[in-house]
């Protein structure tokens, strides 16, 4: 397991922002574009804010979302609302290159629509993920049937984290990303991190060859 440890959440955010900048440059040098899958939740917000002034070639960046909550467009609790407020409204990414999940259509229809989009999308250059206290990642929760759904985008029902209905990228496409970063910050993530280190399996441990970025609070230091 490849981990990087930092004193606090700000340092994690800085380090991951640097990783994104580097991956962006390499991808554009290599194939002329950078395809990035954003994480939801609150952990990545500061990292997104730090990206705003950084000199990325934004016109060549394509943004996807690892998951979305089935809420109306613009709802303050949607993952894309956070990403727009922290990053996407402040950088010159062509709006046609931001692929939001139409989760407002409901889990089934939203997943079907995103599936169609992802079928035409290239393999992502980078995936950012967070983890929940129960070891979920994106909207793939322990014991949820979405974990076994092999589609590119999957409907999620009965999510223990509100709202109960979501759309998530499936494990297959998450694992296809060239570089995978998982951010873990805060004392509330210490128990699940200890369990992961102890070898317990969770949805997040099904993400293979990820690099983990942790702060001291999550590591219990
Ligand atoms: C969501 C996220 C979810 C999140 C974790 C961690 O829709 O809630 O996609 O997977 O990454 O729950 O959330 P925090 O970063 O807020 O702890």
> Ligand 1 centre and the CA of 129: distance in Å?
8
> Ligand 1 centre and the CA of 167: distance in Å?
13
Nearest atom in ligand 1 to 68's CA: 7
Work out the average pLDDT over 116-133.
Answer: 98
What average pLDDT is seen over the chain? 98
> Ligand 1 centre and the CA of 198: distance in Å?
22
Location of structure tokens 């998530």: 168
Nearest atom in ligand 1 to 67's CA: 9
Q: How far is CA 145 from CA 171, 203, 217, in A?
A: 12, 11, 32
- Is-contact 178 125, C-beta < 8 A? yes
Q: Is the pTM of this model over 0.95?
A: yes
Atom 4 (ligand 1): residue with closest C-alpha? Answer: 41
DSSP state of 140: B
Instruction: For residues 23 and 20, give the distance between their C-alpha atoms in angstroms, rounded to a whole number.
Output: 5
pLDDT of 6-27, one tens digit each? 999 999 999 999 999 999 999 9
Q: Which helix (H) or strand (E) holds 167?
A: strand 166-169
pLDDT of 142-191, one tens digit each? 999 999 999 999 999 999 999 999 999 999 999 999 999 999 999 999 99
- Is-contact 104 69, C-beta < 8 A? no
pLDDT of 39-88, one tens digit each? 999 999 999 999 999 999 999 999 999 999 999 999 999 999 999 999 99
């Amino acid at each position: 397991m490849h981990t990087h440890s930092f004193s606090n959440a700000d340092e994690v955010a800085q380090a991951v922002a640097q990783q994104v900048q580097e991956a962006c440059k390499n991808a554009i040098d290599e194939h002329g574009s950078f395809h990035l899958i954003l994480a939801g939740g609150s952990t990545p917000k500061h990292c997104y804010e730090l990206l705003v002034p950084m000199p990325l070639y934004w016109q060549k960046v394509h943004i996807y979302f690892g998951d979305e909550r089935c809420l109306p467009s613009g709802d303050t609790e949607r993952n894309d609302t956070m990403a727009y407020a922290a990053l996407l409204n402040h950088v010159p990414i062509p709006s046609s290159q931001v692929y939001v999940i139409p989760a407002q259509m409901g889990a089934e229809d939203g997943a079907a629509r995103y599936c169609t989009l992802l079928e035409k999308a290239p393999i992502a250059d980078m995936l950012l993920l967070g983890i929940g206290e129960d070891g979920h990642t994106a909207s793939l929760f322990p014991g949820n049937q979405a974990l076994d759904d092999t589609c590119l985008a999957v409907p999620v029902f009965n999510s223990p984290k509100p709202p109960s209905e979501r759309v998530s990228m499936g494990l297959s496409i998450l694992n296809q990303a060239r570089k995978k970063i998982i951010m873990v910050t805060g004392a509330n993530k210490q128990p699940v991190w200890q369990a992961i280190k102890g070898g317990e399996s969770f949805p997040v441990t099904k993400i293979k060859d990820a690099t983990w970025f942790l702060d001291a609070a999550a590591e219990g230091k």
